[in-house]
Chains A and B, each alone.
Chain A
Amino acid sequence: MVTIIKPENIVYSRSHAFTETSTSYCPGCTHGTAHRLIAETLEEMNLVDKTIGVAPVGCSVFAYNYFDTDFVEAAHGRAPAMATGIKRVLPDKCVFTYQGDGDLASIGMAEIMHAAVRGENISVIFLNNAIYGMTGGQMAPTSLPGQKTTSSPLGRDVELQGFPLRMSEMIAKMDGAGYVVRRSLHDPANIRKAKKAIRTAFETQMHGLGFSMVELLSTCPTNWGMNPVDSCKWVEDQMLPVYPLGDFKVSESVSELRF
């Protein structure tokens, strides 16, 4: 067979921070995109050997199989507490959690807020897909007003079911937070920005500059009942107005980071 791909022509390949295991995510789901960005970042920063990931309960429960780093699996919502326990005894290692919106913004609210306010030197990658993916599409605290889910079949009624929760805005208020931003995974330009933010979050941690979190607006084509393209469109049209992208906290020392 003739090799037509020369190494110098390769523009895209599988990140070495991944294992050979293929993911269990639905086709078109942006969990995979987020994984890819994290893997590339760990590889670029030479962190694969010294990273410990903390997987959540949610669709990304098996994230520990996909990254070629040490990993632990937390109870639902408790990843920031578990990461705290690890980081406090291994302060020189890179510790990150990967959490969905049910995990982080509902059951794990106390753990995330206190990890942030303590300035726990960990990085949190927060996937906000406005729904509970794994359990089959129930309402999340982040679901949009009027959004139909299996537990808000007539659409989220804010009178009865409350309002969407903006975690980044809230966590940015914590003195312990060094870097808190919201990005989106719905198109290539935004994906590139998301990657830069993930890099900044890990740099923040490795420079000991406090708690860092990147919220990523993400899709759930399966439970939204849409194809992947429409899902990305839905993020743009419906989610962005409720969850504006932006930098909610960039501490002075983080803003001075050069990499």
Chain B
Amino acid sequence: MAKELIKGNVAMAEAAIRAGLEAYFGYPITPQTEVLEHLARRMPELGRAFVQAESEVAAINMVYGAACTGVRVMTSSSSPGVSLMQEGLSYIAGTEVPAVIINVMRGGPGLGNIAPAQSDYYQSVHGGGHGDYHPIVLAPASVQESIDLTVLSFELAEKYRNLAFVLSDGSVGQMMEPAELPPMQPIVKKNYDWAIGGKGTREKRILTSININPHDEEIANLRMLQTWFEIKKNEVRYKEYYLDDAEFLVIGFGTSGRVALSAVRKCREKGIKVGLLRPITVRPFPDEVIIELAERVQGILVVEMNQGQMLDDVMIAVGKKVPIEFYGRPGGVIPFPEDVESEIERMVSAKLEIVNNPRVAWLDRMLHR
């Protein structure tokens, strides 16, 4: 199929359809609304389920219901809407049914603004809803990746009976780029041995997140953790750029990873031996490759569009082996490549120290710009 100029949000919506999306439930919110609008037209046209719900609370619970029947189902929203979904997400995780959630992140907290941000990393990656659970989180940095990761998210969600997030942002969601959509796939009826749909001639089935006996709940928790370790073993994905001879490492995901790549290229032109690691799965986090890289670089710069959330995961992976620097632009601001470039140059020329909290020096630099 040929490349076409397509908007990130529309690309995810159409990719989901071509991957066999059978039901969508959502609520309008900028900068995600094009997903809902595209599906509002396309889903009924294909005889598939589409409901504009009364709220994100209802939307995610509709997703929960449809997911219990074993169909391919998803919702999409942006930060404040995803906050409202946390209840349903926890129930879906607890029931171990597959569902896909697209989060086109925007500036926060609160109503914040509609500009691109990455401040829902903690919420998506480290929970958000109550209880122990372990969603898969995929972070696209381009329209093409938005397409590919949307398709992948369904496969992973269903393979592991888990939540899979596509963690995009207002920049990737709103940008237009040439990209190739996958061919239309037929809907495959899966006949899962856990799905409900009327018992027919088989035994009745129950899908619930309740384990009223704490010992049973503990067993369920341990089983889910086992599944998670399986996911962690099989599904880590990342992109490496200029890492072979790198003396300095930049880490960034999604849009900030993309901006950082431009900066790294500029620095390479100047002869600075710097490389980039861009996690595709921010959960499972590519910590093993980071641990490996930490053995051979002199400094690490983490770039994010928040106050340093993935930074924590990098710090856990690296420990006190190498100095870690942070450059973040929270609140809906996208860093310029030049900003990241000068951060890299600062890292390369400064006498780096291993500190407990790289955010302290960063905040100081931000306030005294």
- By a CB distance below 8 angstroms, the chain B residues around A94 are 198
Q: What is the CA–CA distance of A210 and B210 in the complex, to the nearest angstrom?
A: 31
Check B61–A74 contact: CB distance below 8 A: yes
Q: List 19 A-B contacts (CB under 8 A).
A: A48-B199, A49-B199, A50-B198, A67-B204, A69-B198, A70-B206, A72-B68, A73-B95, A73-B210, A82-B62, A83-B65, A85-B67, A86-B69, A89-B71, A89-B73, A110-B54, A110-B58, A111-B58, A113-B54
Q: What is the CA–CA distance of A49 and B57 in the complex, to the nearest angstrom?
A: 30
Check B49–A89 contact: CB distance below 8 A: yes
Check B58–A78 contact: CB distance below 8 A: yes
Residues of A within 8 A of B (CB): 19, 48-52, 54-55, 61, 64-65, 67-75, 78, 81-86, 88-90, 93-94, 110-111, 113-114, 118
Question: Shortest beta-carbon distance, B80 to chain A, in Å?
Answer: 16
Q: Given contacts A54-B65, A84-B25, list 14 more A-B pairs with CB under 8 A.
A: A19-B204, A67-B204, A69-B204, A70-B197, A71-B206, A73-B208, A73-B209, A78-B57, A78-B61, A78-B87, A81-B57, A90-B198, A113-B54, A118-B51
Check A75–B88 contact: CB distance below 8 A: yes
- By a CB distance below 8 angstroms, the chain B residues around A74 are 61, 64-65, 91
- By a CB distance below 8 angstroms, the chain A residues around B200 are 49-50
Query: Known: A73-B208, A89-B22. Contact between A114 and B196, CB under 8 A?
Result: no
B297 adjacent to chain A (CB < 8 Å): no
Q: What is the CA–CA distance of A136 and B71 in the complex, to the nearest angstrom?
A: 38
- By a CB distance below 8 angstroms, the chain A residues around B209 are 73
Check B208–A72 contact: CB distance below 8 A: yes
Check B65–A49 contact: CB distance below 8 A: no
Question: Shortest beta-carbon distance, A237 to chain B, in Å?
Answer: 36
B205 adjacent to chain A (CB < 8 Å): yes
Q: What is the CA–CA distance of A50 and B206 in the complex, to the nearest angstrom?
A: 14
Q: What is the CA–CA distance of A12 and B82 in the complex, to the nearest angstrom?
A: 51
B55 adjacent to chain A (CB < 8 Å): yes
Check A73–B54 contact: CB distance below 8 A: no
Check B204–A86 contact: CB distance below 8 A: no
B23 adjacent to chain A (CB < 8 Å): yes
Check A88–B55 contact: CB distance below 8 A: no
Check A85–B65 contact: CB distance below 8 A: yes
Q: What is the CA–CA distance of A229 and B87 in the complex, to the nearest angstrom?
A: 40
Which residue of chain B has the shortest Cβ distance to A55 in the bound complex?
B208
Q: What is the CA–CA distance of A55 and B71 in the complex, to the nearest angstrom?
A: 21
Which of A48, A81, A85 has the most chain B CB atoms closer than 10 A to its own CB? A85
- By a CB distance below 8 angstroms, the chain B residues around A52 are 196-198
B201 adjacent to chain A (CB < 8 Å): yes
Question: Shortest beta-carbon distance, A111 to chain B, in Å?
Answer: 5
